[in-house]
């Protein structure tokens, strides 16, 4: 499978151009090494001929010292080029990793729902790691080794035109054969990379669910799947390796023939008195000398085959565009301080086209008011929150934010995405705790928030004694998956994040459902303070939570069956909300 040269050049230009100085230094180091490699056999040829001619010992010592100096200089150039190559390669690959990571992080949730975290890790890290050699020395070494071939051929033409012609034909045939084999292994390495991503996704998913796997006795089944994936992966790896080995075998055969021809031709010309013994050695050495660059080119072609597979997969990943509309750059109502009004205007949405989740949902929530959202499981309550944060965009209708309700309302898709997510805060029942300090988990790695404010919010949540009990206070590292924290503590930390962000709109998606009644009562005053002066949307499942709402929205199968002021609906005996109050809110979740 061939990919256009423009794909290679585009990557090289994008990630090597910022390192022009180091790339030029790397090229010079490689070129100096090439010159020294061509010069060294000339010194040995002179040493042999001078020895046979009975030259003085001082002359021979001078040649020997000159040869040693050349070899030391060559090793220094090799060391410098290796250091520069690694520096250039890792700088470029880290920049590419960052671009891929940002591309994935800014994609809509449908992109992530279709891929496991392990698969994305393999795509961002595994595929990019395969390009390290491509960025560092691949292009420069291919050009450098071609220049070395040219230098050797010209040097031999100076010795004898017949030797020059023979070596030129030999080098051209060897290069032609290797170039013809360039794309032979690419399809096989593509399959290997795909299997590696699938395996990484499987391992990541199973490690994430280790408690359920152990608790349900699914360990034997998991290991059977583990070995099945390895069995599927292995033949693809073997085939790819065999195809790469084929180019190596052809190279060995070609050079065996080349060495035999050089010895036969050199001995014939020596017998005729055309060449000296030192020149015969020079011809044989140059044949061995060009073996190294052609071997390097063969190896680099093998690396290029692997790189081609990774480049194809990286281009495919970059080609996946987010379904979210591009963020605006102009100022928007979402930039205004204070509470924002929320307007849903005939919003319809589906994850699967055959299964609509929301159907023409419309309501207007004034700025500074609290909306309680009720409905059965699967009615679309959580989807409202995801649409408001623009994790998805609706297929139909519009969602608007504005300071004054209607006059300045704008579709979220026309607003700056970053600002929208800064002004809308979400707390869910599933809390993500990062392997980082307490401070970083609360501030989301924002160094601009002072410790005094962080401690004040912790105290307001009633977590002061908990923090004091930690050996390193705010610097205490927390483990992933909230290990070592109770459900209540991790949920309170999630509330602390919202306090520190100070958004205009707060969405509580059943945020207290994992708390025991005592802990829930402990944070009720904090929730009241959080909603004060802000617009709130509370996806509720308990009566105490709904009682603080100014408006009630009831969903059923994705449709709005009731919306209005809470007091008015509670006082209307015929309303659905009044019926729920009589029968108990637990029925909503039945």
Residue 551 has pLDDT above 80, yes or no: yes
**DSSP state, 115?**
S
Q: What per-residue confidence (pLDDT) applies to 565?
A: 93
Band of residue 523 on the pLDDT scale cut at 50, 70, 90: low
| 60 CB neighbour count, 10 Å cutoff | 14
List, in sequence order, every residue forming a beta bridge with 358; answer none if it has no partner. Answer: 349
Higher pLDDT residue, 179 or 210?
210
Q: Where are the domains of the chain?
A: 5-319, 333-433+479-589
Task: Tell me the mean pLDDT in the region 264-293.
Answer: 73
DSSP per-residue codes, 446-509:
-TTS-HHHHHHHHHHTT-HHHHHTSTTGGG-B--GGGTTS-HHHHHHHHHHHHHHH--SEEEEE
- Radius of gyration in angstroms for the set of CA atoms belonging to the chain, rounded to a whole number: 35
Q: Residue 52: in which H helix or E strand, if any?
A: helix 20-52
The H or E element that residue 307 is part of is helix 277-319
Residue 371 confidence class, pLDDT cut points 50, 70, 90 = very high
Q: In what order do the strands lie in the sheet with 355-365?
A: 355-365, 341-352, 396-402, 410-411
Q: How far apart are CA 380 and CA 295, in angstroms?
A: 62
Contact 202, 118 (CB under 8 A): yes
What is the overall mean pLDDT for the chain? 79
pLDDT for the residue numbered 189: 76
Residue-wise pLDDT tens digits, 420-448: 888 888 887 777 777 788 888 888 888 88
For domain 333-433+479-589, give the fold.
Rossmann fold (3.40.50)
Which residues, including other chains, have CB under 8 Å from residue 13's CB and lie 6 or more apart?
none
Domain made up of 5-319: CATH architecture:
Up-down Bundle (1.20)
Cβ contact 169:287 at 8 Å: no
Is the model's pLDDT at 521 over the cut of 70? no
Q: Give the mean pLDDT of 461-479.
A: 82
Render pLDDT for 398-425 as a digit per residue (tens, 0 to 9).
898 887 655 556 778 887 777 788 888 8
Is the pLDDT reported for residue 4 higher than 70?
A: no
List, in sequence order, every residue forming a beta bridge with 399; answer none if it has no partner.
344
Residue 336 has a pLDDT of 55
Alpha helices for 209-276 (secondary structure H): 210-215, 219-271
Q: Are strands 535-539 and 505-509 parallel, antiparallel or unpaired?
A: parallel
C-alpha to C-alpha distance for 171 and 287, rounded to whole angstroms = 9
Query: By the 8 A CB rule, do 492 and 463 touch?
Result: yes
Q: pLDDT band at 563, cuts 50/70/90?
A: very high
Overall average pLDDT of the 521-550 stretch: 77
How big is the CA angle at 391 (ends 388 and 394), to the nearest 5 degrees? 65
Closest CA to 401 of 382, 381, 425, 383: 425
What is the band of 330 on the pLDDT scale with cuts at 50, 70, 90? very low
Query: What is the distance between the alpha carbons of residues 365 and 537, in angstroms, rounded to a whole number?
Result: 9
Please answer whether residues 280 and 271 qualify as being in contact, where contact means their C-beta atoms are separated by less than 8 angstroms.
Answer: no
Could you tell me if 311 and 8 are in contact, meaning their C-beta atoms sit under 8 angstroms apart?
yes
* pLDDT beyond 50 at 44: yes
pTM value is: 0.63
Quote the distance between the C-alpha of residue 346 and its chain's center: 37
Q: Mean pLDDT over residues 579-586, rounded?
A: 72
Please check the confidence at residue 191 and state whether its pLDDT lies above 60: yes
Q: What's residue 364's pLDDT?
A: 92
Give the lowest-confidence range in 66-80, 247-261, 389-403, 572-586: 247-261
Residue 19 is classified by DSSP as: G
């Amino acid at each position: 499978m061939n990919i256009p040269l423009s794909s290679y050049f585009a990557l090289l230009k994008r990630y090597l151009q910022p390192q022009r100085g180091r790339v030029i230094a790397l090229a010079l180091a490689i070129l100096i090494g090439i010159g020294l490699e061509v010069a060294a056999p000339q010194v040995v040829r002179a040493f042999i001929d001078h020895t046979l001619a009975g030259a003085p010992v001082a002359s021979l010592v001078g040649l020997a010292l000159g040869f040693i100096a050349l070899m030391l200089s060559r090793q220094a150039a090799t060391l410098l080029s290796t250091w520069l190559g690694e520096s250039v390669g890792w700088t470029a690959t880290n920049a590419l990793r960052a671009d891929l990571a940002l591309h994935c992080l800014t994609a809509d949730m449908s992109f992530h729902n279709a891929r496991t975290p392990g698969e994305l890790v393999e795509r961002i890290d595994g595929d990019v790691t395969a390009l390290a050699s491509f960025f560092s020395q691949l292009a420069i070494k291919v050009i450098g080794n071609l220049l070395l071939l040219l230098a050797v051929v010209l040097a031999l033409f100076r010795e004898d035109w017949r030797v020059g012609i023979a070596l030129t034909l030999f080098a051209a045939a060897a290069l032609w054969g290797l170039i013809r084999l360039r794309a032979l292994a690419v399809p096989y390495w593509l399959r290997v990379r795909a299997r590696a991503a699938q395996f990484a996704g499987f391992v990541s998913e199973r490690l994430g669910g280790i408690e359920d796997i152990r608790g349900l006795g699914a360990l034997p089944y998991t290991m059977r799947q583990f070995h099945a994936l390895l069995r599927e992966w292995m033949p693809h790896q073997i085939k790819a390796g065999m195809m790469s080995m084929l180019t190596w075998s052809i190279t060995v055969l070609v050079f065996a023939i080349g060495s035999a021809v050089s010895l036969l031709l050199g001995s014939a010309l020596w017998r005729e008195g055309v060449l000296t013994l030192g020149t015969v050695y020079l011809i044989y050495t140059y044949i061995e000398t060009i073996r190294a660059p052609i071997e390097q080119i063969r190896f680099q072609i093998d690396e290029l085959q692997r790189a081609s597979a990774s480049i194809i997969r990286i281009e495919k990943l970059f080609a996946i565009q987010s379904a979210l509309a591009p963020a605006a750059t102009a100022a928007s109502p979402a930039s205004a301080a204070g509470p924002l009004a929320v307007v849903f205007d005939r919003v319809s949405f589906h994850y699967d086209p055959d299964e609509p989740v929301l159907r023409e949902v419309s309501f207007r929530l004034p700025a500074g008011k609290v909306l309680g959202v009720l409905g059965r499981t699967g009615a679309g309550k959580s989807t409202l929150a995801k649409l408001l944060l623009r994790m998805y965009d609706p297929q139909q209708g519009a969602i608007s934010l504005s300071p004054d309700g209607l006059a300045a309302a704008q579709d979220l898709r026309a607003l700056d995405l970053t600002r929208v997510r800064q002004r809308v805060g979400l707390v869910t029942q599933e809390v993500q705790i990062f392997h980082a300090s307490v401070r970083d988990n609360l501030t989301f790695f924002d160094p601009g928030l002072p410790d005094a404010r962080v401690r004040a919010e912790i105290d307001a949540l009633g977590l002061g004694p908990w923090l004091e009990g930690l050996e390193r206070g705010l610097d205490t590292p927390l483990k992933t998956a909230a290990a070592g924290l109770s459900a209540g503590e991790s949920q309170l930390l999630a509330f602390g994040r919202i306090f520190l962000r100070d958004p205009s709109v707060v969405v509580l998606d059943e945020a207290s459902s994992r708390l025991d009644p005592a802990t829930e009562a402990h944070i009720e005053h904090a929730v009241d303070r959080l909603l004060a002066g802000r617009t709130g949307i509370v996806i509720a499942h308990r009566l105490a939570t709904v009682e603080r709402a100014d408006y009630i929205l009831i969903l059923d199968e994705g449709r709005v069956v009731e919306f209005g002021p809470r007091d008015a609906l509670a006082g209307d005996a015929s309303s659905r909300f009044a019926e729920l109050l009589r029968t108990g809110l637990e029925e909503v979740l039945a």
